[in-house]
Chain A
């Protein structure tokens, strides 16, 4: 009997910890529907007024658009840069290959506060602060390591010898890449793209340093807003961001899931 009680107590403990883990993500939702002018629990009344406020807030709307566009550009660039690099790193053997891969992963090891500051200081000298190219590069340096990892794994786990087989049938290396390698790494490409998009869209510290005052980005605008105001607007935006992220994950799951079934 005590084994049973222990088992249930254990389960309750796990659920409590999980609730702790997911609490902030979940609690922004009810607060976003609060009718109050400030964050209070429980809300005196419910309303969708803050969602309305959101779309009327010019800065937030602009920041959202900018972040969206930036993330899309950064994602495309990430794929264009990381894919050839991943191919080069998995299809050739040369001295220092492992060291090079570590070098490309290194930006993730640096705390973003240090990286952000370091990039700011350099960029100021070149007038890149607050510019689109500057922010793009600032984001690229952290999205590339993620994408590279996923693509290297994807390329390393291709079925054995299919590229050799294509060669023996008369395909030159470019054709092999286009007709055999590329279709087979589509799941990895999709996962990399989703990851790069989310990382870029969510990035706050580096953006805080180098986006300046002209280029409004959503996470930075949220941060500044919270510093000065205490109303549930941020909750509404946060709720939408959570839903957006969820949507991306589901889409990727369906796309990659389907692809994986086809590729086998």
Chain B
């Protein structure tokens, strides 16, 4: 039993303040050079103009923003990105939920299962996406399988379908992790209590498990949506350049067209979508409290 207040307030015999600064200086410097400055610069960049030669003027202007917001091409890109993001999130949720539920209940082999679910995250996005190209490509694994059974395989690559399938698998580990963290608060005894009161398997799932896992579901959905909307490598490789999304457009404008202000605007746009999603998430979380 302790008569000192919570750890946060207790003074520890820790580093003095000048030593403190020294210990934190390197990480602060890295973050300023490679995070604060670049991001601030990028936001400012969206208010500049790019001449056709690729050089930048120093004039502060809203021209780029105006051209962006007036052009229906960019609106369609934004809309497509958001729509696909939502679709991917829903499908990922549906596939991940049973796995997460199973993992949270299993006693033996539970750690192994979780490790298996998380392990794809340790691989490069290029490798994982390439794996999907192998599976979905016209000469790939899945079409071959479908042909064997006697059907004509639909086109699974270089279109939105391929992007959705690939992105779903890429994001599943994140969803599973979020769901598991939500399940942690679910007590098996609650389900047992419901059973003793006469609820069958489905009812328990519907009335007890689902509602209580809602925080995990919301968190996972937010995470997946945000990652889906900003993902570059996987959509780019699986769509073969045929599906224009915000992330791929940013890359093209920045590297190919060298229109940095426009790329910067699009980046700010993505961050705005993030912000909106976060707000939405916040509201939903308050509602379920």
Please give the residue numbers on chain A whose beta carbons come within 8 Å of chain B beta carbons, in ascending order. 6, 10, 13-14, 17-18, 20-25, 27-28, 31, 38-42, 80-82, 84-85, 87-89, 91-94, 100, 103-104, 106-107, 110-115, 117-122, 137-138, 140-141, 144, 148, 164, 167, 173, 198, 201-205, 209, 219, 222-223, 226-227, 234-235, 238, 241-242, 245, 249
Which residues of chain B come closer than 8 Å to A20, judged between CB atoms?
A: 95, 169
Residue of B nearest to A195 (CB): B122
- B14 near A118 with CB under 8 A, answer no
Chain A residue nearest to B147 (CB atoms) is A41
Distance A80 CA – B125 CA, assembled complex (angstroms): 27
Minimum Cβ distance to chain B for residue A103 (Å): 7
- Asked whether any CB of chain A lies closer than 8 Å to the CB of B211, the reply is no
The 5 closest A-B pairs by CB, nearest first: A24-B131, A111-B230, A118-B38, A202-B124, A141-B34
Q: Shortest CB–CB separation between residue B198 and chain A, in angstroms? A: 17
Q: Which of the candidate stretches B25-33, B58-66, B67-75, B279-287 sits at the interface with the other chain?
A: B25-33
Could you tell me if B122 and A198 are in contact, using CB atoms closer than 8 angstroms? Answer: yes
Q: Is the CB of B126 within 8 A of A204?
A: yes
Query: Does B144 belong to the interface (CB within 8 Å)?
Result: yes
Contacts of A118 in B (CB 8 A): 38-39, 41-42, 267
State which of B133-141, B180-188, B189-197, B212-220 sits at the interface with chain A: B133-141
Which chain A positions have C-beta within 8 A of B15?
A: 87-88, 91-92, 173
Bound complex: CA of A245 vs CA of B122, how far in Å? Answer: 7
B116 sits at the interface (CB 8 A): yes
- Contact across chains for B125 and A204 when beta carbons are under 8 A apart: yes
Alpha-carbon distance between A164 and B4 when the two chains are bound, in angstroms: 16
Given the contacts A17-B99, A114-B230, A38 and B169 also touching, CB distance less than 8 Å: no
Chain A nearest CB, measured from B96 CB (Å): 8
Complex formed: what's the CA distance from A222 to B133 in Å?
Answer: 13
A121 engages B41 (CB within 8 Å): yes
Q: Is the CB of A121 within 8 A of B38?
A: yes
- CB of B77 within 8 Å of the partner chain: no
Instruction: Name B144's contact: one of A18, A41, A107, A119 (CB within 8 Å).
Output: A41
Chain A residue with Cβ nearest B253? A117
Question: In the bound complex, what is the Cα–Cα distance between A113 and B33 (angstroms)?
Answer: 17
Assess whether A92 is in contact with B33, with CB atoms less than 8 Å apart.
no
B169–A23 touching, CB < 8 Å: yes
Q: Does B117 contact A (CB under 8 A)?
A: yes
Given A27-B135, A94-B20, A111-B247, are A141 and B35 neighbors across the interface (CB < 8 Å)?
yes
A245 touches B8 (CB 8 A): no
Query: Does B126 contact A222, Cβ atoms closer than 8 Å?
Result: yes
A39 to B45, CA, bound (A): 43
Contacting pair B128 A41 (CB below 8 A): no
- Of chain B, the residue at the smallest CB distance from A122 is B38
Question: Which residues of chain B come closer than 8 Å to A249, judged between CB atoms?
Answer: 119, 122
